[in-house]
Every structure is written in structure tokens, then in C-alpha cells.
Amino acid sequence: MTLTIFMSLAFSTLTKPKPHNKPKNTLLLMFLISLMPINLLLNNNHKLTLSSSPLIMTPTENISISVTLDTLSLTFMPITLFITWSITEFSAWYMKTDPNINKFIKYLTMFLIAMIIIITANNMYQLFIGWEGVGIMSFLLIGWWSGRPNANTAALQAIIYNRVGDIGLITTTAWLMSSSSMNMQELLIQYETTHIIPMLGILAAATGKSAQIGMHPWLPSAMEGPTPVSALLHSSTMVVAGVFLLIRLQPILHNSKNMTTTCLILGATTTVFAAAAANTHTDIKKIIALSTTSQLGLMMTMVGLNQPMLAFLHMTTHSFFKALLFLCSGSFIHSLNNEQDVRKMGGLEKTMPMTASFLTIANLSLIGTPFLSGFYSKDTIIETMTNSYTNSWTLTITLMATVMSASYSMKIILLTLTGHPRMNLSPHKETNTIIYPLLRLMLMSVLAGTMTKISTLQSAVVFTMPKTIKLTALIATMVGMTLSSDLIYTSINSKPQTPNTLNTFFNQLAFFNTPHRSSSMNILKTSQKISTELVDLWTLENYGPKGLINSLIPTIHLSTQQKNMIKNYMITFTMTALLSVTLMYI
């Protein structure tokens, strides 16, 4: 029923002249409906599976539409609907001058539908449909302003990087089709005998979709799309789909030490790399995008520690404050005539006080300020890592990433909100259209963690640990905030300096040049060399002039004794004539 309403909503936007209120109201209604099953889940932790009659019948398996409603899907579905509701309302203001705003709202709705298919999928076929759905919708939305070359490039980057990751999911699906089952319940029962190939495929799929290191450049590039797209893409759809896949299929991975260690190292490296890269950028949207990559790395680390529910908890709390961060930055960008450089902002706490307050709360939640929603997940993650004997290196660099995340969050707050204005302002009035969605997201950024804490979803486990270890995350955060504020106050008035090698390394996303410059140029040169040397110098020459000579010479030799060496004959004749004349006169 839900999907039917969504589909009718999506396609009706083509014909309605002002459809902004209808999507907003429908999403509100869907959000309220999605809250109803949670009551049963909280009380009993039940799981419900709904399947249609088989649509495709094969000798080995019957393929049907199958929906699962369990802890993961019933918890995350209202979050996705709530965030999309807020973003759709914000889009009506942000994109009001766009001639194709109806199509834009429709695309956002289709994006949501694809994510809900992933969340509720009970077999790999359905999951793959949703997986490809979010991929193609991200391509269309990132390249929304198709007149900008950068937007087209970014959209292509997103689809190509994800296509590389999709090869892994296709490999896993093909493997399961031939040796196991497509159905989630049957698949997860057989986890004891899982082979390395499907596990590698799942990991590759999650690496591409969730922009882990090596496949990360597309995520900051995706900022070329409109800000509401960035908010939806980075909070509750698309990028979390990769981590959601790993959480859903965690029983396949958790017995394999190689795979969990790979997830652990991959996630920790991504966390610290993205946090370091965020500190070198000055574009507010790219800083927030790299922050998303960093938080996804943290979720991947938890999957590697066999703590999927902690990763899921961080995914849910992260969705709210990340959407709020993007919408606040979009509001600022709109007011500053599309200026995105934080160095050219300043003093916005005076001109846009409510948006400035919301941005501050979202940043504080991101860095793990006690009793905001990010604290309950981020602090718990670091405590769990501290109490784990698995990998001390991972803990060390995660703490470094925590310091750096506090640093770039303070950088955003201090450069955009405080001090004197450093730009041409055309401030807009903070109307209800802007404030209501931001207010809703702000309340959830404050309360989501507390609501989860008091719910019956989690079973509280009390660790006994020294006070310093308990306060490790908070100490790291305080260090990052102090260093950031000191650095900004000491360098804000200094002359611009040439970036050093390390700064350039992170600012250019390190591995960006490898896939986009070195590899492509080497492949191009190799192919050019092969085409010229192999085709022109070898094939055409051998079958052309040389081939003609080689076929003619044997024929000439059959018909005459002359060997076609006219120069030799002439030299011999001349030398003989000269010798004869000389001898005659002697």
C-alpha cells in the first residue's frame, strides 16, 4: 500500500501545477503510519515477513515480492520518511525559481522509494532493484543542473564508482543463486558454510556505495548537485545503503576473521583520512560531505568489530544531524549569492540567528557533545573499541579522527557564524518554510539518542572501566575543539601561504589522481601505442607493401634467373668495363 501511494504521488507531480504541498502532506501521513508498527516491535521485538505469490517460477527457485519488517526496517523507515518530509518542504523554498521543480520533487520521491525497497527487501533480487534505483536517481539528481560541466562530471563519477561496487553485489547474487538461496532467512541460516567470494562481493558493494577509501572521490564531487539532494543523499539514502547491506548480512561475515579485520581496517582508515581531508577544505558543503565519509568509516569499523547494532544506532542518529547540517549550509549559501567558501562568510549569527543556532547544535551533535543524539552512538562506539582487544591501531587512529572531526566542526562554526561579515550579504527572512523543517531536524538531533536510550530496543550492558577510558572520547573532542579555535584565531589574519605537500595530499583526496589521472592516461597511452604499432606498423605494413613484395619475389624467381638486384648488376658491369679498359691500355 505504501509503495502504491508513493508511486501515484511520484507520477502525479508531472501534471499538477503546484504539487509542493501534496508530497509534503503525503510524506507526513506516511511517517505517522510507519510509526504504528514500532509499538509492537518495542514491546515484543517481533519480525514479520510478507510474500506475494511467485511472479517468476524457475526449476530451482520461485521469485516473489517479499517484504520483511524487523528491527532494522521498522526503525529506519520512519527516519527516512521523516528526513525526506523535511527536505521536501525545504526544497519548495530552495528550488522555487527552478522551472522543473515538479520533476525535482518527483525525483526525490523516487529516491525515497528505492531506499525503502532496500530497507524492506527480503530477497537479493528486490535488494538489487532498490540498489540500482538509488544509483540511477543519484545520477539524475547530482547532474540536475546539467548546464554545468562539473555537475555532469560529478554525476558520471557517482554512477561509475557505484557501478564498480555493483559488480561485487552482482557476483554475490550470482553465487547465492547457484549455491545457496536468494531469500534472506534461508541465506542467513547457512552462514556457517559461507564462501569467501560472496563475502568479498558484499564488501566491494558496500565500499563503492558507502564511499570507503579507494572509492571515495565521488562523494565530495556529488556536492555539485542542489543542496537538498546532498542532504538526502548523505543522511538517510544512498550512502548508508552500503553499510545497511553489511548490517543486514552480518551473520555471513561475523565468523570470518579475515573479512571482519578487513572491514575494521578499511573503516578506520576511511575515518581518519576523510577527517584529515575535511580539515584542508574550505568549501562548506565539501567539508560536510567528507564528514559523512568519516562517519561511514566509523560505522564500517563497528561492523568489523561484530557490533552491527551499534553501527545501525550511529546510522540513525547521524541521519538527523547530517541532514540538518546540509540544510543549514544550503540556507546560508542561498543568502550569500551561492558563496560556499567558509573564509568568505562570517557574522551570520547576527543576520540568520535561528539557522545559526541549528547549525551549532548539529555540529555539537556530530562531535559527540554529551546528551545530544550523536553522543549516545559515537561515545558508545569509542568505548566499545577501547574495551575490545581486536586492534589497538584502529582505536588509535579512530581517536585521531575524533580529534579532527571536532576540529573541522569548530572551523565551520567559527568561520561562518562569528566575527565580521566578509561577503556581500542579501539575507532572506527566516520564514516558516525554512524554519519548520530545520526545527524538526534540530529536535531529533537533540532527542533521538535519548529516545533510543529509554526505549526497550536496547539491552543496557554496563562496562567497568577506569574513568580516563570512560572520558577518552570527550577528552579527544575537547582537544580537537581547542586546537581548531587556537589555529583559526592565530591564522585568520595571516597572509595566504602555499599549501605544503601534506595539505595538498589530503586536499586533492590523495587517491584522486590515481584513478582519474595516472590510470586513465596510462591506459590511453597504452591503447594508442597498441593501435599505432600493432595496427599501422605491423598489420597494415605486413599485409600491404611488404606483403606485396613477399608475394611477388617468389613469382619473379620462377619466371627468370634475374634476382631483381639491378644495383649489383650495374656496379659489376661498370667495374668490369673499367678493368677491361685499364688492362687494354697497359
What DSSP letter does each residue of 67-110 carry, written as one string?
Answer: EEESHHHHHHHHHHHHHHHHHHHHHHHHTTT-TTHHHHHHHHHH
Query: Rounded to 10 degrees, what is the CA torsion of 248, 250, 253, 254?
Result: 180
Cell of 89: 518542504
Mean pLDDT across 327-349:
86
pLDDT at residue 17 greater than cutoff 50: no
Between 305 and 419, name the one with better pLDDT: 305
Dihedral sign for Cα atoms in the order 344, 350, 352, 353: positive
Our CA angle for 130, 131, 134, nearest 5°, is 80
- Give the Cβ contact number of residue 75 at 10 Å: 21
Reduced to 3 states, what is the DSSP secondary structure of residue 195?
coil
Poorest-pLDDT segment among 87-96, 97-106, 178-187, 321-330: 178-187
Amino acid letter, 358: F
Mean pLDDT across 26-52:
79
Between 423 and 88, name the one with better pLDDT: 88
Residues 455-463: contacts with CB under 8 Å, at least 24 apart: 455/42, 456/42, 456/43, 457/41, 457/42, 457/45, 457/71, 457/75, 458/309, 458/313, 463/383, 463/387
What confidence category does residue 517 fall into, taking pLDDT thresholds of 50, 70 and 90? low
In sequence order, which residues have a C-beta less than 8 Å from that of residue 68 and are 6 or more positions away?
47, 48, 49, 50, 120, 121, 122, 184
**CA contacts within 13 A on the Cβ side of 51:** 12
pLDDT at residue 45 greater than cutoff 70: no
Percent of the chain with pLDDT over 90: 26
What is the three-state SS of 244-290? HHHHHCHHHHCCCHHHHHHHHHHHHHHHHHHHHHHHHCCEHHHHHHH
The per-residue pLDDT for range 176-215, each reduced to its tens digit, is 888 777 888 778 777 666 688 888 999 999 999 988 888 8
The predicted pLDDT at position 338 comes to: 83
> Would you give the DSSP letter of residue 52?
-
The predicted pLDDT at position 1 comes to: 47
The per-residue pLDDT for range 471-502, each reduced to its tens digit, is 888 999 999 999 988 888 887 777 777 777 77
The per-residue pLDDT for range 549-571, each reduced to its tens digit, is 777 666 666 666 666 567 677 77
Cell of 382: 569509542
The predicted pLDDT at position 540 comes to: 66
Please, what is the average pLDDT of the chain?
83
Q: Among 46-60, 433-447, 544-558, name the most confident range.
A: 433-447
pLDDT at residue 582 greater than cutoff 80: yes
pTM of the predicted protein model: 0.85
Query: Cα–Cα distance between 330 and 324 in angstroms, integer?
Result: 10
pLDDT at residue 141 greater than cutoff 80: yes
Mean pLDDT across 276-285:
89
Between 85 and 562, name the one with better pLDDT: 85
DSSP 477-543: HHHHHHHHHHHHHHHTTSPP----HHHHHHHTTTTTHIIIIIHHHHHHHHHHHIIIIIIIIIIIHHH
For 92, 362, 386, 557, the CA distances from 358, given in Å and listed in that order, are 20, 6, 32, 94
For residue 460, count CB atoms less than 10 angstroms from its CB and return exposed for 0-12, middle for 13-18, buried for 19 or more.
exposed
> Would you give the DSSP letter of residue 428?
P
Mean pLDDT across 94-109:
88
Q: Which of 309, 315, 308, 301 is nearest to 402 (CA)?
A: 301
The per-residue pLDDT for range 408-441, each reduced to its tens digit, is 999 999 989 888 887 776 667 777 778 889 999 9
The predicted pLDDT at position 351 comes to: 84
Reduced to 3 states, what is the DSSP secondary structure of residue 300?
helix
Mean pLDDT across 400-413:
92
pLDDT at residue 273 greater than cutoff 50: yes
